[in-house]
Amino acid sequence: MNTVRRNPPKPAPTLVEGTLKLRPRAKEENAPEERAERAAPRPAPRRERDAGSPAAPRGRGGAGSDARAGTDEGGRSGGRPGAKSDAKSDARPGARSNTRPGGRTDARSGGRTDARPGPKGGPRPDARPGPRPERPAGAKPDAKPGERTRGADHDAAPRPPRTETGPSAAAARPQEGVRLSKVMAERGICSRREADEYIERGWVFVDGRRVSELGVRIDPAARIDLSPEASRTQRERVTILLHKPVGYVSGQPEPGYEPAVSLIGPGNQFDRDSAQRFHPSHLKNLAPAGRLDIDSTGLLVLTQDGRVARQLIGEESEIDKEYLVRVEGALAENGLELLRHGLWLDDRPLRPAQVEWINDDQLRFVLREGRKRQIRRMCELVGLQVVGLKRVRIGRVRLADLPIGEWRFLREDERFG
Protein backbone atom coordinates (compact mmCIF):
# COMPACT_ATOMS: atom_id res chain seq x y z
CA MET A 1 0.00 0.00 0.00
CA ASN A 2 1.49 3.27 -1.16
CA THR A 3 1.34 6.24 1.11
CA VAL A 4 2.01 9.88 0.15
CA ARG A 5 3.55 12.26 2.63
CA ARG A 6 1.61 15.44 2.85
CA ASN A 7 4.44 17.55 4.23
CA PRO A 8 7.71 16.55 2.45
CA PRO A 9 10.95 17.83 4.09
CA LYS A 10 12.51 21.01 2.69
CA PRO A 11 15.95 20.73 1.07
CA ALA A 12 18.83 22.08 3.07
CA PRO A 13 20.11 25.51 2.02
CA THR A 14 23.22 25.40 -0.19
CA LEU A 15 26.36 27.39 0.38
CA VAL A 16 27.61 27.25 -3.22
CA GLU A 17 28.02 30.64 -4.85
CA GLY A 18 26.67 31.43 -8.26
CA THR A 19 23.35 29.60 -7.83
CA LEU A 20 19.87 31.12 -7.81
CA LYS A 21 19.55 30.56 -4.08
CA LEU A 22 20.76 33.69 -2.34
CA ARG A 23 21.38 34.20 1.31
CA PRO A 24 19.43 37.11 2.65
CA ARG A 25 22.23 38.06 5.03
CA ALA A 26 24.62 38.68 2.06
CA LYS A 27 22.45 41.54 0.91
CA GLU A 28 22.29 43.04 4.36
CA GLU A 29 26.07 42.69 4.84
CA ASN A 30 26.92 44.22 1.47
CA ALA A 31 24.46 47.12 1.65
CA PRO A 32 26.68 49.43 3.79
CA GLU A 33 29.69 48.72 1.54
CA GLU A 34 27.71 49.54 -1.61
CA ARG A 35 26.47 52.81 -0.19
CA ALA A 36 30.04 53.74 0.81
CA GLU A 37 31.42 52.96 -2.63
CA ARG A 38 28.67 55.01 -4.34
CA ALA A 39 29.28 57.98 -2.08
CA ALA A 40 33.07 57.90 -2.61
CA PRO A 41 34.41 60.08 -5.50
CA ARG A 42 35.32 58.13 -8.64
CA PRO A 43 39.07 58.29 -9.45
CA ALA A 44 40.16 60.22 -12.52
CA PRO A 45 40.97 58.36 -15.77
CA ARG A 46 44.43 56.99 -16.17
CA ARG A 47 45.60 59.57 -18.73
CA GLU A 48 44.53 62.51 -16.58
CA ARG A 49 46.08 60.89 -13.52
CA ASP A 50 49.37 60.37 -15.34
CA ALA A 51 49.38 63.95 -16.63
CA GLY A 52 48.62 65.40 -13.23
CA SER A 53 51.22 63.38 -11.33
CA PRO A 54 54.23 62.69 -13.58
CA ALA A 55 56.28 61.43 -10.64
CA ALA A 56 53.87 58.58 -9.91
CA PRO A 57 55.36 55.17 -10.69
CA ARG A 58 54.21 53.58 -13.91
CA GLY A 59 54.26 50.06 -12.55
CA ARG A 60 50.99 48.23 -12.81
CA GLY A 61 51.20 46.88 -9.27
CA GLY A 62 51.41 50.29 -7.54
CA ALA A 63 48.81 52.46 -5.84
CA GLY A 64 47.28 53.66 -9.07
CA SER A 65 46.80 50.08 -10.14
CA ASP A 66 45.08 49.18 -6.87
CA ALA A 67 42.67 52.07 -7.15
CA ARG A 68 41.78 51.15 -10.69
CA ALA A 69 41.37 47.50 -9.83
CA GLY A 70 39.14 48.28 -6.87
CA THR A 71 36.98 50.58 -8.93
CA ASP A 72 36.59 48.34 -11.93
CA GLU A 73 36.27 44.99 -10.30
CA GLY A 74 34.49 46.17 -7.18
CA GLY A 75 32.10 48.31 -9.20
CA ARG A 76 31.03 45.37 -11.24
CA SER A 77 30.69 43.04 -8.29
CA GLY A 78 28.89 45.38 -5.91
CA GLY A 79 27.04 47.72 -8.27
CA ARG A 80 23.92 45.56 -8.43
CA PRO A 81 22.37 44.00 -5.31
CA GLY A 82 22.24 40.29 -5.53
CA ALA A 83 24.47 40.09 -8.65
CA LYS A 84 27.17 37.49 -9.11
CA SER A 85 30.41 38.50 -7.44
CA ASP A 86 33.59 38.37 -9.50
CA ALA A 87 35.95 39.07 -6.63
CA LYS A 88 36.37 35.70 -5.01
CA SER A 89 38.87 37.01 -2.51
CA ASP A 90 36.11 39.17 -0.90
CA ALA A 91 33.48 36.41 -0.85
CA ARG A 92 34.96 34.44 2.04
CA PRO A 93 37.41 35.46 4.66
CA GLY A 94 40.69 33.65 4.42
CA ALA A 95 40.43 32.95 0.69
CA ARG A 96 43.63 32.04 -1.17
CA SER A 97 45.61 34.96 -2.52
CA ASN A 98 46.61 34.79 -6.18
CA THR A 99 49.35 37.35 -6.01
CA ARG A 100 52.31 36.26 -8.11
CA PRO A 101 55.91 36.82 -7.15
CA GLY A 102 57.34 40.15 -8.27
CA GLY A 103 54.15 42.19 -7.78
CA ARG A 104 51.99 40.57 -10.52
CA THR A 105 48.42 40.07 -9.30
CA ASP A 106 45.87 38.01 -11.15
CA ALA A 107 42.41 39.40 -11.94
CA ARG A 108 40.86 36.82 -9.64
CA SER A 109 42.31 38.62 -6.59
CA GLY A 110 40.46 41.84 -7.28
CA GLY A 111 42.66 43.53 -9.90
CA ARG A 112 45.31 42.51 -12.45
CA THR A 113 48.67 44.14 -12.13
CA ASP A 114 51.53 43.46 -14.48
CA ALA A 115 54.26 45.39 -12.76
CA ARG A 116 57.60 43.95 -13.70
CA PRO A 117 60.25 43.59 -11.03
CA GLY A 118 62.77 46.36 -10.71
CA PRO A 119 66.45 45.92 -10.17
CA LYS A 120 65.82 44.21 -6.83
CA GLY A 121 62.44 42.65 -7.42
CA GLY A 122 60.35 45.77 -6.75
CA PRO A 123 58.20 47.70 -9.23
CA ARG A 124 60.16 49.24 -12.10
CA PRO A 125 60.09 53.04 -12.11
CA ASP A 126 58.54 54.93 -14.98
CA ALA A 127 60.66 54.77 -18.13
CA ARG A 128 59.81 58.39 -18.95
CA PRO A 129 59.70 60.36 -15.69
CA GLY A 130 60.68 63.62 -17.40
CA PRO A 131 62.22 65.16 -20.52
CA ARG A 132 64.81 62.99 -22.17
CA PRO A 133 68.37 64.34 -21.88
CA GLU A 134 69.93 65.39 -25.14
CA ARG A 135 72.65 63.14 -26.53
CA PRO A 136 75.92 64.85 -27.49
CA ALA A 137 76.50 65.21 -31.22
CA GLY A 138 78.26 62.17 -32.60
CA ALA A 139 77.68 60.06 -29.49
CA LYS A 140 76.69 56.45 -29.92
CA PRO A 141 73.03 55.74 -28.99
CA ASP A 142 72.54 53.90 -25.66
CA ALA A 143 76.25 54.13 -24.92
CA LYS A 144 77.21 52.53 -21.67
CA PRO A 145 79.21 54.43 -19.07
CA GLY A 146 82.88 54.30 -19.89
CA GLU A 147 82.26 53.05 -23.44
CA ARG A 148 84.38 54.69 -26.09
CA THR A 149 82.32 56.70 -28.58
CA ARG A 150 83.22 58.52 -31.76
CA GLY A 151 82.57 62.23 -31.45
CA ALA A 152 81.66 64.73 -34.12
CA ASP A 153 85.16 66.19 -34.06
CA HIS A 154 86.55 62.72 -34.84
CA ASP A 155 84.17 62.25 -37.80
CA ALA A 156 84.95 65.69 -39.15
CA ALA A 157 88.67 64.95 -39.37
CA PRO A 158 89.78 64.63 -43.02
CA ARG A 159 90.62 61.14 -44.17
CA PRO A 160 93.63 60.44 -46.36
CA PRO A 161 92.76 59.58 -49.98
CA ARG A 162 92.52 55.89 -50.75
CA THR A 163 95.09 54.49 -53.10
CA GLU A 164 93.90 51.53 -55.14
CA THR A 165 96.37 48.91 -56.22
CA GLY A 166 96.18 45.65 -58.08
CA PRO A 167 94.80 44.55 -61.47
CA SER A 168 91.52 46.45 -61.07
CA ALA A 169 93.34 49.74 -60.51
CA ALA A 170 95.56 49.12 -63.52
CA ALA A 171 92.50 48.47 -65.70
CA ALA A 172 90.85 51.69 -64.48
CA ARG A 173 93.84 53.86 -65.43
CA PRO A 174 93.86 55.10 -69.04
CA GLN A 175 96.29 53.13 -71.13
CA GLU A 176 98.87 54.90 -73.23
CA GLY A 177 99.41 54.41 -76.93
CA VAL A 178 97.13 53.35 -79.80
CA ARG A 179 95.77 49.91 -80.58
CA LEU A 180 98.06 48.01 -82.88
CA SER A 181 95.28 47.00 -85.29
CA LYS A 182 94.21 50.64 -85.69
CA VAL A 183 97.74 51.77 -86.49
CA MET A 184 98.11 49.01 -89.08
CA ALA A 185 94.85 50.02 -90.77
CA GLU A 186 95.76 53.73 -90.78
CA ARG A 187 99.09 52.97 -92.42
CA GLY A 188 97.39 50.88 -95.09
CA ILE A 189 99.13 47.66 -94.09
CA CYS A 190 95.80 45.82 -93.93
CA SER A 191 92.28 46.23 -92.62
CA ARG A 192 91.56 46.07 -88.89
CA ARG A 193 89.88 42.71 -89.31
CA GLU A 194 92.92 41.34 -91.13
CA ALA A 195 95.23 42.90 -88.52
CA ASP A 196 93.46 41.01 -85.73
CA GLU A 197 93.84 37.81 -87.72
CA TYR A 198 97.56 38.37 -88.26
CA ILE A 199 98.12 39.26 -84.60
CA GLU A 200 96.38 36.11 -83.38
CA ARG A 201 98.61 34.02 -85.66
CA GLY A 202 101.75 35.79 -84.43
CA TRP A 203 102.56 37.30 -87.83
CA VAL A 204 103.09 40.89 -86.62
CA PHE A 205 106.34 42.36 -85.24
CA VAL A 206 106.56 45.72 -83.47
CA ASP A 207 110.09 47.10 -83.24
CA GLY A 208 111.40 43.61 -83.85
CA ARG A 209 109.27 41.91 -81.14
CA ARG A 210 106.51 39.46 -82.00
CA VAL A 211 103.01 40.42 -80.87
CA SER A 212 100.35 37.72 -80.53
CA GLU A 213 97.86 39.29 -78.11
CA LEU A 214 94.84 41.30 -79.23
CA GLY A 215 94.30 44.78 -77.81
CA VAL A 216 97.98 45.65 -77.45
CA ARG A 217 98.70 49.38 -77.58
CA ILE A 218 101.85 50.75 -79.14
CA ASP A 219 103.57 54.01 -79.95
CA PRO A 220 102.07 55.35 -83.21
CA ALA A 221 105.59 55.90 -84.48
CA ALA A 222 106.72 52.32 -83.84
CA ARG A 223 108.02 50.17 -86.69
CA ILE A 224 105.63 47.40 -87.79
CA ASP A 225 106.65 44.43 -89.91
CA LEU A 226 104.73 41.42 -91.21
CA SER A 227 106.03 37.90 -91.31
CA PRO A 228 106.53 36.18 -94.68
CA GLU A 229 103.37 34.15 -94.05
CA ALA A 230 101.30 37.33 -93.76
CA SER A 231 102.83 38.82 -96.90
CA ARG A 232 102.13 35.64 -98.85
CA THR A 233 98.52 35.61 -97.61
CA GLN A 234 98.07 39.18 -98.82
CA ARG A 235 99.39 38.35 -102.26
CA GLU A 236 96.93 35.47 -102.52
CA ARG A 237 93.98 37.76 -101.89
CA VAL A 238 92.45 38.97 -105.11
CA THR A 239 90.68 42.08 -106.38
CA ILE A 240 88.23 41.71 -109.28
CA LEU A 241 86.94 44.31 -111.75
CA LEU A 242 83.42 43.64 -113.06
CA HIS A 243 81.42 45.39 -115.75
CA LYS A 244 78.08 45.22 -113.98
CA PRO A 245 74.96 45.08 -116.15
CA VAL A 246 71.66 46.74 -115.30
CA GLY A 247 69.44 44.60 -113.04
CA TYR A 248 72.13 43.31 -110.67
CA VAL A 249 72.57 44.66 -107.18
CA SER A 250 76.06 45.47 -106.03
CA GLY A 251 75.61 44.42 -102.40
CA GLN A 252 73.12 42.20 -100.63
CA PRO A 253 70.62 40.40 -102.88
CA GLU A 254 67.11 41.80 -103.15
CA PRO A 255 63.87 39.95 -103.98
CA GLY A 256 63.79 39.26 -107.71
CA TYR A 257 67.38 40.43 -108.33
CA GLU A 258 70.72 38.64 -108.21
CA PRO A 259 73.88 40.00 -106.61
CA ALA A 260 76.70 41.05 -108.87
CA VAL A 261 79.04 38.52 -107.25
CA SER A 262 77.03 35.75 -108.91
CA LEU A 263 78.63 36.78 -112.22
CA ILE A 264 82.10 35.83 -110.99
CA GLY A 265 82.98 32.42 -112.40
CA PRO A 266 85.25 30.68 -114.91
CA GLY A 267 82.78 31.06 -117.77
CA ASN A 268 82.93 34.85 -118.07
CA GLN A 269 86.53 35.57 -117.08
CA PHE A 270 87.87 38.11 -119.55
CA ASP A 271 91.62 37.56 -118.92
CA ARG A 272 91.66 33.79 -118.62
CA ASP A 273 94.52 33.55 -121.14
CA SER A 274 96.83 36.07 -119.48
CA ALA A 275 96.05 35.87 -115.75
CA GLN A 276 95.57 33.18 -113.15
CA ARG A 277 92.60 30.90 -113.53
CA PHE A 278 89.53 31.25 -111.38
CA HIS A 279 89.34 29.16 -108.20
CA PRO A 280 86.34 28.85 -105.85
CA SER A 281 88.54 30.17 -103.02
CA HIS A 282 88.45 33.55 -104.79
CA LEU A 283 84.84 33.93 -103.72
CA LYS A 284 85.65 33.62 -100.01
CA ASN A 285 85.16 36.97 -98.26
CA LEU A 286 84.76 38.69 -101.63
CA ALA A 287 82.84 41.93 -101.08
CA PRO A 288 82.04 45.03 -103.19
CA ALA A 289 84.14 48.12 -102.48
CA GLY A 290 81.52 50.74 -103.21
CA ARG A 291 77.97 50.69 -104.51
CA LEU A 292 76.46 50.92 -107.96
CA ASP A 293 72.69 51.26 -108.34
CA ILE A 294 70.60 48.45 -109.72
CA ASP A 295 69.63 50.71 -112.65
CA SER A 296 73.26 51.64 -113.35
CA THR A 297 76.06 49.90 -115.20
CA GLY A 298 79.82 50.17 -115.34
CA LEU A 299 82.89 49.42 -113.24
CA LEU A 300 82.37 47.62 -109.95
CA VAL A 301 85.24 46.54 -107.67
CA LEU A 302 85.01 43.37 -105.56
CA THR A 303 87.94 42.51 -103.30
CA GLN A 304 89.22 40.21 -100.57
CA ASP A 305 91.86 42.74 -99.56
CA GLY A 306 90.95 45.06 -96.72
CA ARG A 307 93.57 47.57 -97.84
CA VAL A 308 91.76 48.09 -101.14
CA ALA A 309 88.38 48.45 -99.48
CA ARG A 310 89.68 51.03 -97.04
CA GLN A 311 91.33 52.97 -99.83
CA LEU A 312 88.13 53.16 -101.88
CA ILE A 313 85.34 53.55 -99.34
CA GLY A 314 87.07 54.64 -96.14
CA GLU A 315 86.02 57.85 -94.43
CA GLU A 316 89.25 59.53 -95.49
CA SER A 317 89.21 58.21 -99.04
CA GLU A 318 90.28 60.69 -101.72
CA ILE A 319 89.82 58.36 -104.69
CA ASP A 320 87.61 60.01 -107.31
CA LYS A 321 85.07 58.22 -109.54
CA GLU A 322 83.98 59.22 -113.03
CA TYR A 323 80.45 58.74 -114.47
CA LEU A 324 78.73 59.32 -117.79
CA VAL A 325 75.11 60.38 -117.20
CA ARG A 326 72.33 60.70 -119.78
CA VAL A 327 69.58 63.09 -118.68
CA GLU A 328 66.23 64.55 -119.73
CA GLY A 329 64.40 67.73 -118.77
CA ALA A 330 65.14 71.44 -118.48
CA LEU A 331 68.12 72.42 -116.36
CA ALA A 332 67.55 75.25 -113.89
CA GLU A 333 69.14 78.63 -114.59
CA ASN A 334 72.04 78.11 -112.19
CA GLY A 335 71.69 74.31 -112.14
CA LEU A 336 75.18 73.52 -113.40
CA GLU A 337 76.78 75.65 -110.66
CA LEU A 338 74.64 73.95 -108.03
CA LEU A 339 75.64 70.52 -109.30
CA ARG A 340 79.28 71.49 -108.93
CA HIS A 341 78.84 72.83 -105.40
CA GLY A 342 75.98 74.04 -103.23
CA LEU A 343 73.54 71.11 -102.94
CA TRP A 344 72.57 69.30 -99.74
CA LEU A 345 71.48 65.69 -99.29
CA ASP A 346 70.27 64.14 -96.04
CA ASP A 347 70.81 67.45 -94.22
CA ARG A 348 74.51 67.44 -95.14
CA PRO A 349 76.33 69.47 -97.76
CA LEU A 350 77.91 67.63 -100.67
CA ARG A 351 81.57 67.80 -101.49
CA PRO A 352 82.57 69.85 -104.52
CA ALA A 353 82.20 67.87 -107.78
CA GLN A 354 83.31 68.26 -111.38
CA VAL A 355 80.29 68.47 -113.70
CA GLU A 356 80.30 69.40 -117.41
CA TRP A 357 78.25 68.84 -120.55
CA ILE A 358 79.58 66.27 -123.07
CA ASN A 359 76.73 66.71 -125.59
CA ASP A 360 73.14 67.90 -125.55
CA ASP A 361 71.80 65.15 -123.31
CA GLN A 362 74.88 63.76 -121.53
CA LEU A 363 76.82 65.01 -118.50
CA ARG A 364 80.17 63.96 -117.06
CA PHE A 365 80.43 63.71 -113.25
CA VAL A 366 83.59 63.26 -111.15
CA LEU A 367 82.84 62.67 -107.47
CA ARG A 368 84.91 62.03 -104.36
CA GLU A 369 82.08 60.56 -102.32
CA GLY A 370 79.42 57.96 -102.89
CA ARG A 371 76.08 58.47 -101.19
CA LYS A 372 73.05 56.40 -102.02
CA ARG A 373 71.72 57.29 -105.51
CA GLN A 374 73.67 60.54 -105.24
CA ILE A 375 73.82 61.56 -108.91
CA ARG A 376 70.15 60.83 -109.55
CA ARG A 377 69.08 62.87 -106.52
CA MET A 378 71.39 65.75 -107.46
CA CYS A 379 69.89 65.96 -110.95
CA GLU A 380 66.34 65.96 -109.57
CA LEU A 381 67.17 69.02 -107.45
CA VAL A 382 68.03 71.06 -110.59
CA GLY A 383 65.15 69.86 -112.82
CA LEU A 384 66.79 66.91 -114.61
CA GLN A 385 65.92 63.23 -114.73
CA VAL A 386 68.57 60.52 -115.17
CA VAL A 387 67.76 57.94 -117.86
CA GLY A 388 71.18 56.24 -118.00
CA LEU A 389 74.28 56.08 -115.79
CA LYS A 390 77.61 54.37 -116.38
CA ARG A 391 80.76 54.41 -114.22
CA VAL A 392 83.87 54.39 -116.36
CA ARG A 393 86.72 55.01 -113.90
CA ILE A 394 87.72 54.54 -110.25
CA GLY A 395 90.94 56.38 -109.43
CA ARG A 396 93.53 55.44 -112.03
CA VAL A 397 91.77 52.20 -113.05
CA ARG A 398 89.48 52.47 -116.08
CA LEU A 399 86.71 50.25 -117.39
CA ALA A 400 88.30 50.40 -120.86
CA ASP A 401 87.29 47.57 -123.15
CA LEU A 402 85.94 45.16 -120.51
CA PRO A 403 82.72 43.73 -121.99
CA ILE A 404 79.50 44.04 -120.07
CA GLY A 405 78.82 41.08 -117.78
CA GLU A 406 82.49 39.95 -117.73
CA TRP A 407 85.27 40.40 -115.17
CA ARG A 408 89.06 40.37 -114.78
CA PHE A 409 91.68 40.44 -112.01
CA LEU A 410 93.33 43.67 -110.95
CA ARG A 411 96.86 43.52 -112.32
CA GLU A 412 99.94 43.98 -110.14
CA ASP A 413 100.90 47.12 -112.05
CA GLU A 414 97.50 48.76 -111.47
CA ARG A 415 96.83 51.08 -108.53
CA PHE A 416 93.69 53.03 -107.65
CA GLY A 417 95.54 55.88 -106.03
Which residues are annotated as catalytic?
Answer: 293
| Calpha distance 291→370 (Å, rounded) | 8
- The SS3 of residue 171 is helix
- C-alpha dihedral over 197, 203, 208, 209, to 10 degrees? 70
| Calpha distance 10→7 (Å, rounded) | 9
Conformational region of residue 46, where left means phi above 0, alpha means psi within -120 to 50, and beta covers everything else: alpha
- C-alpha dihedral over 301, 306, 307, 311, to 10 degrees? 50
| Calpha distance 126→236 (Å, rounded) | 98
| Calpha distance 363→379 (Å, rounded) | 10
Strands (DSSP E) contained in 171-228 are 178-179, 204-206, 209-211, 217-218, 224-226
Q: 293 CB contacts (<8 Å, ≥6 apart)?
A: 250, 373, 376, 389
* Beta strands 258-259 and 248-249, pairing class: parallel
| Calpha distance 48→198 (Å, rounded) | 92
